[in-house]
Structure 1
Amino acid sequence: MISRADDLIDRRRLRRKLTFWRVAAIAVIALALVAISAWLYGDEFGGAAVDHIAKVRIDGTITEDDELIERLEKIRKSPRVKGVILAVDSPGGTTAGGEATFDEVRKLAGDKPVVAQVGTLAASAGYMIASAADHIVARKSSIVGSIGVLIQYPDVTGLMDKIGVKLEEVKSAPLKAEPSPFNPTTDEERAMVRKLIMDSYDWFVGIVADRRAMTKPQVLALADGSIFTGRQAVTNGLIDEVGGEDEAVAWLGTKGVDTKLKVVEWKDTGGHGGWLFSKALVRTASRLLGLPENSGDVLDRLGADRLFLDGLVSVWHP
């Protein structure tokens, strides 16, 4: 009896050891696959070891994004990138954010052919960035346009009166820190803001006129804040053709890019703390182990889009 009990204990110990080493082997294989895929394709690690067409997503609310600018710069310098697809799906955002990305895309287009592929929406600063590409493709039902700039601010003076709150202030000049939600807006303040708006609006219209080979009056006729479907945008000259990624790749082919090359998405690697702890590694390992791919991004997604945008904005719906 004692011998049989000892045998059972030994078998259980052996099973536990086998289970441990199986799990360890799976983990090692998963990490090896991640490393191999990163080396061969690099679709989530900022590059690839083979010639390819780079794809970059411009989505959500646009702000000044240092990581995106750096990624576009790496794409420009990569000898393996033969062409670039900007996948735009954005309602717009801050005017400065749109300008920064626009300038970087134009720099990129100086070295490699760039095509913009519009998904659901490319409005305001989103369209500004799309116009930086050498060619724009959009779906027939995509929304394009909303060329313009705005500033919005609340007026809470009525609420302050109701709850008995009064603001006291001392300032160097009447227009300092105006317009303010705590004071009724004066005509002088409105005039100051309008000058600001119209200067940026004139700059935006000039960008579209230059990039779309249109006259300023032609752009002004479209730049009243209107939005257009992809089909209307083709007719109005705001995009070049309707379609999706296939049409984008086909256009790159007219610029000498091999259309058989793999389209590799260059993503934000979340590269804080090195590749071992990067978001890209977590996402890839999650896929390999059958876990939800976005399980590590919940907090980032909750705060991804700014609820309040400071300063001038070029956005369809703030």
Structure 2
Amino acid sequence: MSMTSNAADYLFDRRRLRRKLLFWRTAGFLLLTLIIVGFALMATSSRSAGTFVPHIARIRISGLITGDEKTLKLIRDVGASSASGVIVDIDSPGGTTVGSERVYDALRAVAEKKPMVAEIRTLGASGAYIAALGADHIVAYGNSLVGSIGVLFEFPNVSKLLDTVGVSVEKIKSSPLKAEPDGFTPTSDAARAAINALVADSYAWFKGLVQQRRGMSDEELAAVDDGRVFTGRQSLPLKLIDQIGTEKDSIAWLESKGVAKNLPVRDWKPDSDRVFGLLGMATALAETLDARTLTQVLKGLAAADAAHSSEGLQAIWLGAPE
């Protein structure tokens, strides 16, 4: 009877321990998730209200520039924040003409309120150079590729292939230039002329923007507006950039414009990237919890919380290196 009683007590204690472990694991997961989501929401609300402590904001412009709303909102949020100055970190071959124009306009709106410097890393070509023009000072490395002032309109034409396989595309149009070029028939002279007019108009706008923002004469503009890219060293005497340097030089320029010395540089990212990244981290942490480490983790989170509370047409360069 004694052995049976001891075995029953042992099983009962085991079940009770399992229930406790399950409870603490569940509580730990929920608490971690709530705290980390809270951090994300506080960061989001702080950014929107502009209540960050003074700092230098870094905005990254990379990949294909489309002028998407997420990027534009990020730029607007920086403008409404307590950032004292802005570094626009550029590494892009360009993008759509309209997208690049939208990014330029958004950056200019912020630059009217805060000192802004563009820093070109590997590549700042075509539409990316349009974005760089939004800043009042452009810094590049000696081997950065800069420029590619021009506009591109390209489309596939498979009319010869269709002739080879014996396929034709019939169409009825309200006027000769409707939906031209379509890629299924040889492009007419009139269609080419219409497309050329579009390209010429956007190209004239691009050149005018470069000339205005970089203070170039007609002769100086003509030396750089043929679509080529230039190294940073070549770009400096051509007036495409203001300085060969690094982020240290970008910060020094901002400080020369009244930004306080030794401010931290903070990367600004879209809100959705921050929230989902933090949620992923919460899940990973919760999966490793056990009863012995839970208390230590919660203490660490409490300390972290305390620390936190204190604080169309394309303007694109197609020769981008891999």
Q: Unpaired runs of 5+ in structure 1?
A: 271-278, 292-310
Q: Among 70, 76, 79, which residue is 1:76 paired with?
A: 79
State the structure with more CA Rg: 2
Question: Aligned equivalents of 2:47 and 2:133: distance in 1?
Answer: 27
Partner of 2:143: 141
Equivalent AA in structure 1 for residue 52 of structure 2 = A
Structure 1 residue corresponding to 2:233, chosen from 231, 234, 251: 231
Size of the alignment, in residue pairs? 289
Give 1:53's match in structure 2, choosing from 35, 56, 62.
56
Displacement of 1:21: 4.2
Matching of residue 281 in structure 1 with residue 283 in structure 2: no
Measured at CA, do residues 157 and 30 of structure 1 come closer, stay the same or move farther in structure 2, by a change above 3 Å?
same
- The answer to whether the Cα contact below 8 Å between 2:88 and 2:116 also exists between their aligned partners in 1 is yes
Structure 1 position 151, deviation (Å):
0.4
Task: Report the CA distance between 1:43 and its aligned residue.
Answer: 11
**Cα gap change, 1:247 to 1:3, in 2 (>3 Å):** farther
Structure 2, unmatched stretches of 5+, are 286-311
Structure 1 residue 149 displacement after superposition: 0.1
Give 1 or 2: higher helix fraction.
Answer: 2
Answer whether contact 1:91 1:123 (CA < 8 A) is retained: yes
Compared with structure 1, are the counterparts of its residues 205 and 74 closer, same or farther at alpha carbon in structure 2 (3 Å cutoff)? same
Give me the TM-score of the superposition, normalised by structure 1: 0.82
1:158-237 matched pairs, under 5 angstroms: 158-237=160-239
Match of 2:38 among 35, 57, 66: 35
User: 30-39 or 171-180, which moves further after superposition?
Assistant: 30-39
User: By how many angstroms is 1:207 displaced?
Assistant: 0.5
- Is the Cα–Cα contact under 8 Å of residues 54 and 264 in structure 1 kept in the other structure? yes
Contact kept? 2:47, 2:78, Cα under 8 Å: no
Paired residue for 1:62?
65
Pairing partner for 2:264 from 224, 247, 262: 262
Matches of 2:234 and 2:125 in 1, distance apart?
14
Q: Is the 8 A contact 1:72 1:104 kept in 2?
A: yes
DSSP-derived class of the 2:271 partner = coil
How far apart, CA to CA, are the structure 2 residues paired with 1:44 and 1:17?
Answer: 40
Q: Deviations over 1:31-87 (max 9, x none)?
A: 425535764x66996665312211111111111312222222222222x12111111
- Looking at structure 2, the residues matched to 44 and 120 of structure 1 have their Cα atoms a distance apart, in angstroms, of 33
2:244 maps to what in 1? Answer: 242
Percent identity, aligned pairs only?
42
- Once the two structures are TM-superposed, the CA of residue 244 in structure 1 deviates from its matched residue by 2.5
Classify the secondary structure of the residue corresponding to 2:236. Answer: helix
1:124 aligns to 2:163 (yes or no):
no
Specify whether residues 176 and 36 from structure 1 end up closer, same or farther in structure 2 by C-alpha distance, changes over 3 A only: closer
Where does residue 104 of structure 1 map in the other structure? Answer: 106
Moved more, 29-38 or 131-140: 29-38
